[in-house]
Structure 1
């Protein structure tokens, strides 16, 4: 009898521990981000820190500035009150989803294009910025549109992990894509003559062109890729509350004011297209 009892314990204890650990993991995974951020009156946002106009590190202040940052601050206060805090974590194309999935950040506001593939792993809000892919070239370049890239051997710079890479393969299959880790590296490669153009979303390219007058955005947008705020899968309440707050900011004029603050006066940039994604 004693041997039988011991044998049963050997069999049952591992099962019990596995059940306990699985239960704990499920509990953590299903944590209500909306409730926890509401209780803390703080949202931890994943933002870019290398993208002018959207999120760029200010070397003087040590803080990240940009449209996405200002919008995240406004959304946080709209949801939880004037004394609510928005905290920012620097992300890249490679890290924003893992940071979100691991619970290191509560939401992403990082010029993130809404795609069907991404919808499988994160939940998006409604579009908040009407973006489309375009080209940045040195002024005087013979490259005027995406069609001019569809030549054997022509090189174009893009950032790894972005939709820009796939779009070049789709719209200019004969072009060669040189993939860099970030936008600064991609633009440096363009300036050094490693390729004839840099491609990504128009808003990002206009930010680079604004600071580098020898370069221009050409060809208009050849894709329609609006940005959305992202939360982890299963956080429907957080997504819905972000949508509600975004609609309220659009209704009271805050959203329009932020768009004009960051994109107003940029030659060739159509603010109406941004506001109506």
Structure 2
């Protein structure tokens, strides 16, 4: 498939103004980033690399990047007393560590599963979301499981755990690789592929509007999302983990979860 020729730069104006007990910085002088805190790629800015669209985690609406992940990173930016800037970039550059090593970004919130392979390239925050792989297909297609795809086309997203799962388990299927989730779901809707595999959260969100389609199967892959930073960037990682812990204890995490997913987080 054709890769996007250029990167799309999107600046998120922090109008969110999230209030988190113990998380704010009212000094207005750059926060921890300017006072012995984490060094940032661009002074006064927390640069967040992500791959759009990945609704409801990160997507563009009316010229602004919004979503569950974006709100969480905004808390980190608020803690540091800086603005958040979002860069849309192919996912492979994130999970390989290339975008961090080249100085493109400080952090990545991209619905990214923590894996041992990725840990070799980047450092992860504490887990903040549980996910699993799922299969989406048109209603009445006769597809109920990945084993029904022999001789059929299965769409998967490049460099993702869904792509890996498809290659390991979709015996006899023709796996079609797509650069991002938007292209993958467009192919499912148009019939270019017979089914698509990706994380359950984004697929369930998609079928709310695309009512001719359904999530036909979930696979118990036991995945957890983490935010990524450059290998060895413990100063920033410590702040991210502190913010996530405070969000959990204050109830702000639950509020954001319900805002973006329409339900309370599953009980642990």
Fold conserved (TM > 0.5)?
yes
Quick check: which one's helix share is greater?
1
2:245 aligned partner: 247
- Per-residue deviation at 1:234? 1.1
Structure 1 distance, partners of 2:147, 2:169, is 8
Q: Show structure 2 runs of 5+ residues with no match.
A: 1-35
Question: Normalization by structure 2: what TM-score?
Answer: 0.79
- Per-residue deviation at 1:203? 0.9
Residues 134-192 of structure 1: per-residue CA shift (max 9 Å, x gap) = 0111122321223333x2x1211011121211111222232221111222221222122
Other structure's SS at 1:36 match: coil
Residue 50 in 1 paired to residue 48 in 2? no
2:99 aligned partner: 99
Q: Show structure 1 runs of 5+ residues with no match.
A: 1-32
Which aligned pairs between 1:113-132 and structure 2 lie closer than 5 A?
113-132=113-132
- Per-residue deviation at 1:225? 1.7
Other structure's SS at 1:242 match: helix
Other structure's SS at 2:205 match: helix
Other structure's SS at 2:112 match: coil
2:265 aligned partner: 271
Structure 1 distance, partners of 2:117, 2:253, is 28
2:260 aligned partner: 262
Other structure's SS at 1:256 match: helix
Task: Verify the 8 A CA contact 1:135 1:198 in the aligned structure 2.
Answer: yes
Residue 76 in 1 paired to residue 74 in 2? no
2:148 aligned partner: 148
**Residues matched between the structures, number:** 231
- Per-residue deviation at 1:85? 1.7
Task: Verify the 8 A CA contact 1:136 1:215 in the aligned structure 2.
Answer: yes
Other structure's SS at 1:64 match: strand
Task: Verify the 8 A CA contact 2:41 2:106 in the aligned structure 1.
Answer: no
Question: Normalization by structure 1: what TM-score?
Answer: 0.77
Task: Verify the 8 A CA contact 2:76 2:239 in the aligned structure 1.
Answer: no
Structure 1 distance, partners of 2:87, 2:41, is 19
Task: Verify the 8 A CA contact 1:43 1:86 in the aligned structure 2.
Answer: yes
Other structure's SS at 1:271 match: coil
Residue 63 in 1 paired to residue 58 in 2? no
Higher CA-based Rg: 1
Task: Verify the 8 A CA contact 1:48 1:54 in the aligned structure 2.
Answer: no
- Per-residue deviation at 1:224? 1.7
Task: Verify the 8 A CA contact 1:107 1:231 in the aligned structure 2.
Answer: yes
Quick check: which one's strand share is greater?
2
Other structure's SS at 1:141 match: coil
More displaced 10-residue stretch of structure 1: 89-98 or 130-139: 89-98
1:168 aligned partner: 166
1:201 aligned partner: 199
Structure 1 distance, partners of 2:42, 2:186, is 44
Task: Verify the 8 A CA contact 2:229 2:237 in the aligned structure 1.
Answer: yes
Structure 2 distance, partners of 1:219, 1:154, is 16
- Per-residue deviation at 1:218? 2.0
Runs of 4+ in 1 over 3 A off after TM superposition: 37-42
